[in-house]
Amino acid sequence: MEMFKVFTGSSNMELAQKICDRLGTKLGDALVTRFRDGEVRIQIEENVRKCHVCIVQSTNPPAEHWDELFFMLDAARRGSAAEVTAVIPYFGYSRQERK
C-alpha cells in the first residue's frame, strides 16, 4: 500500500498534479460535488488508513474553498489517516490581521 497520498479540492488541480508529478505519485481520487442548494459534498474514494494524506487547497474566493478544505481534512481523519497535512498555496484573509 502506498503510504503517501495527495488529494485536492477544486481550487488548485493543476498545482496538485504538478506536485504529484514531482513526487512520482498519482493524484488521489476524491469526489467534490455540490448540491442544488450550494452545499459541498466531499468523498475520498481511496483507502487512506494509516497513510500520510496531503491536501492541496487554496482559500481564495469564493469562500466555499474553505468549506472544501475543512471537509477534506475531516474526511481524511474519519478515514483513519495517520497524518493529514494541508498545503495552502494562497491563504486568503491573512493580510487583515494587524497589531
Task: Name the pTM for this structure.
Answer: 0.86
Query: Which cell numbers in the block locate residue 42?
Result: 466531499
For residues 46 and 63, what is the distance between their CA atoms, to the nearest angstrom?
26
For residues 4 and 59, what is the distance between their CA atoms, to the nearest angstrom?
23
Q: Is residue 62 pLDDT above 80, yes or no?
A: no
Q: Is residue 47 pLDDT above 60, yes or no?
A: yes
Least confident window among 28-42, 66-80, 84-98: 84-98
Q: What pLDDT sits at residue 63?
A: 77
- H helices, E strands: number in the chain: 2, 5
Alpha-helical runs (H) found in the chain: 13-23, 64-78
For residues 71 and 76, what is the distance between their CA atoms, to the nearest angstrom?
9
For residues 4 and 30, what is the distance between their CA atoms, to the nearest angstrom?
15
Q: What pLDDT sits at residue 98?
A: 63
Give me the percent of the chain exceeding a pLDDT of 90.
70
Q: What pLDDT sits at residue 50?
A: 95
